[in-house]
Amino acid sequence: MNTPSNAVPESSFDSQAIAPAAVAETRPMYWSVRRELWENRSIYVAPLAVAGVYLLGYWISLIGLPHSMREYAALDPAHRQVMVAMPYAHAAMLLVATAFLVGVFYCLDALHGERRDRSILFWKSLPVSDLTTVLSKAMIPLVVLPVFTLVLIVVLQLIMLALSTMVLAMSGVSPSILWAQLPLFQMELVLVYSLIVIALWHAPVYAWLLLVSGWARRATFLWAVLPPLLISVFESIAFNVFEKMGLHSLYSNSLLKDRLFGWAPAAFDYTMPDGSQVDMHFVPLTQIAVGKFLSSPGLWVGLAFAAGFFALAVRMRRDREPI
């Protein structure tokens, strides 16, 4: 005779309690970001390659460093500081520009690539919402790339400093001259602030590219640049007509230029208290203008457009089918 089992089936309340715990353990956002890093190695390979090439060039240029340090001694302290900081600033500028280009091409392929290779069918079968997927892709240019670029620049500049110190010591020049004149700590703090500013300022650019990536069936780069290009061409043709009517041009070129490069004048004050202009290779901490940046209309208008583009990109990801 079979003995009746005393096991009680799991109640619906227990299953509901376990479900949120299981979802929390999977951490959809974390693994979605990890997926982007696994599938897009150019996110970190391209900046590393550029850093390696720059370091090689800097290593070769160290042949003339002892002679240059003797020449810098004849300059006034302000110019001497700028000249010493210049190669370190160039390294930072180059890697920031590289990160921007990587972010642009990543966004153009982020939603289009999974439709092209039909992997979207697999990813949509997983318990990950379209909002989580699009936000994870947006985090790459807005969070992951700036953080990785910051770490890479700091490491690169420290290696450059170590190589410079070694070359000066071997040539009989005191490395203390370099250490005393190089405002490396200030440069790193300004770099952190700059990367945050750039990410916020370029957010609508990345959001627009994600939207185009989710909408276009092919030629995403063409569709991304075609609308602003047509507006610019129309403005150029109709400029004379606007002037005859007493109206001003739309200045689309100025708007595009401001969206790409306008973060610098919005985030820094390039006029010193004595009226002199700050050299772009070294911006003192005193010239950081946080209040000016936060009160800039361009920042908030750009973020509003970014939010709208992101929302449309989520809708596109939900409605679009494989190509």
Query: 27 vs 78, which has greater pLDDT?
Result: 27
Q: Is the predicted pLDDT of residue 250 greater than 60, yes or no? A: no
Question: Model confidence over 25-69: pLDDT tens digits?
Answer: 458 889 899 999 999 999 999 999 999 999 999 999 888 888 887
In this structure, are residues 289 and 269 in contact, taking their beta carbons and an 8 Å threshold?
yes
Q: Is 27 helix (H, G, I), strand (E, B) or coil?
A: coil
Q: Residue 102: inside a domain, yes or no?
A: yes
Beta pairing partners, 277: 271
DSSP structure string for 238-301: HHHHHHHTT-----HHHHHHHHHHTHHHHHB--B-TTSPBPPTT---GGGB-HHHHHT-HHHHH
Domain boundaries, position 165: 27-319
Q: Is the predicted pLDDT of residue 125 greater than 80, yes or no? A: yes
Q: What is the CA radius of gyration of the chain?
A: 26
* Confidence (pLDDT) at 18: 45
For the residues 67-90, what does the mean pLDDT come to?
82
Per-residue pLDDT band for 243 (boundaries 50, 70, 90) equals low
Cα gap 24→19, rounded to integer Å? 9
Q: Is the predicted pLDDT of residue 1 greater than 50, yes or no? A: no
Rounded to two decimals, the pTM is 0.85
Q: Residue 6: inside a domain, yes or no?
A: no
Question: Model confidence over 292-320: pLDDT tens digits?
Answer: 999 999 999 999 999 999 999 999 888 87
Q: Residue 17: enclosing H or E segment and its boundaries? A: helix 12-26
Q: Residue 5: inside a domain, yes or no?
A: no
Q: Residue 191: inside a domain, yes or no?
A: yes
Q: Residue 70: inside a domain, yes or no?
A: yes
Cα gap 37→137, rounded to integer Å? 10
For the residues 242-251, what does the mean pLDDT come to?
56
Cα gap 261→263, rounded to integer Å? 6
Per-residue pLDDT band for 22 (boundaries 50, 70, 90) equals very low
For the residues 79-91, what does the mean pLDDT come to?
89
* Confidence (pLDDT) at 247: 52
Q: Residue 277: inside a domain, yes or no?
A: yes
Per-residue pLDDT band for 231 (boundaries 50, 70, 90) equals confident
CA end-to-end span of the chain: 62
Question: Model confidence over 195-224: pLDDT tens digits?
Answer: 999 999 999 999 999 999 999 888 899 999
CA distances, 154 to each of 36, 57, 192, 206 (Å): 24, 17, 10, 25
DSSP structure string for 94-143: HHHHHHHHHHHHHHHHHTHHHHHSSTHHHHHTSS--HHHHHHHHHHIIII
- Tell me the pLDDT of the chain averaged across its residues: 85
Q: Residue 10: inside a domain, yes or no?
A: no
Ramachandran angles phi, psi of 279, nearest 5°: -75, 135
* Confidence (pLDDT) at 5: 47
Q: Is the predicted pLDDT of residue 91 greater than 60, yes or no? A: yes
Q: What total of structural domains would you count in the chain?
A: 1
In this structure, are residues 65 and 174 in contact, taking their beta carbons and an 8 Å threshold?
no
